[in-house]
Structure 1
Amino acid sequence: MDDSETGLRARLIDVGVELVATEGAQALTLREIARRAGVSHGAPRRYFPTHLELLSAIARVGFAELGERAAAVAKGAPTARVETLGRVYLEFALGNRGMYELMFRHDLLESGHLGLRDTSLPLFGRLVDLVGRARPDADARLVAGALWANLHGIAQLWGWGSLQLATNTEDFEPLLRAALDAHLGNDR
């Protein structure tokens, strides 16, 4: 690919990232991305033969951003770092609803285009490592998996407004602490 082709490919991804941020994952059609990028509706197919490939490229931007935020969690005791990582995850999920939804779409994760091993598994590996340090008595992979599922559930239910109603709270912090207590022990 020459520079102009690389530039157009990047512009299509950038337009998709902006579109998902402003209008949500459901707005990510090839036609709309092409229109906003100022190209013909067939142009994206030159760089992304399938719609899933373009969506995957957009989702990789979200995983990269979440990965950068997670990498900044580098200091403190393992339990404090797990707590900060959980907060980073929830803040990302709640602050980037469309991208978060896109990142965890089953069809993208299953398609192989997203590169799950290169995007979400390193983040999970970081969580497993920290949980292993915080809970050397437990199977770190299983505890981390349960904690991740709990955080994902908090993010989803909070985004829908269900948890605020059910718990009568407007702050996810008590839920984060309860999830950490459940998985790491309340004497953390």
Structure 2
Amino acid sequence: MLKKLYYVGLAALLASGPGERAIAAEFDPETQLDGRASVDVSASVPENERLRLLKTPDIDFGRVTFHDELVADLLFEASVSNAFEILNITGSGAGFHVNQKYSHFTASLENGSAPYVLPVRAIELSVTGGPTTMINATNSIAYGLLNPGQPEPEYGPIEARVLTGLPDANGFLTSGTLRAEMIIDGKRLGEIVPEEEYEATITTTIVSGL
């Protein structure tokens, strides 16, 4: 029987005015995006739960500055300050998975109109290092192509497997380092609205069983 525990965090992107550096030297900086993600594992679980996600990484996507006339994808590479922490005392040898899913990045408007949606094309997650009892993700898709429709393909949230705990992954476990890359569609940079903060929800789950 599969069992899921959910933890929800928040990610934010800020689109603002003139910046300090450009993505290419030949362009003067005009627009910048700041990316931040903070995941607070504060949801309580019953004391008798034997499989727990104790902590998830805090993420900072840093800053990218670009020229409005530059038609190229923007890449955010997250710096991660900590790791996933897991407690598995089930004793069942069933193993587990840790998954993450990012919602759309949106900016809410006070007038009640439809929110702006940041033109994210992909979010990829990888983990390096950690114990041999866990399998790390490599370029696992947490946001990507949902429908290749024409003329506008649809991109959105995809549940990404970040870690797999093998049957002998027991006790207190600390993962390796999480690396997150987010790609903004260069053909849709005109959809980015400066001076608005874009936020997304990150849902992290731990699932018992392989």
Question: Which TM-score band (shorter chain)?
Answer: under 0.3
Instruction: Name the TM-score, length of structure 2 as normaliser.
Output: 0.26
Greater fraction strand: 2
Greater fraction helix: 1
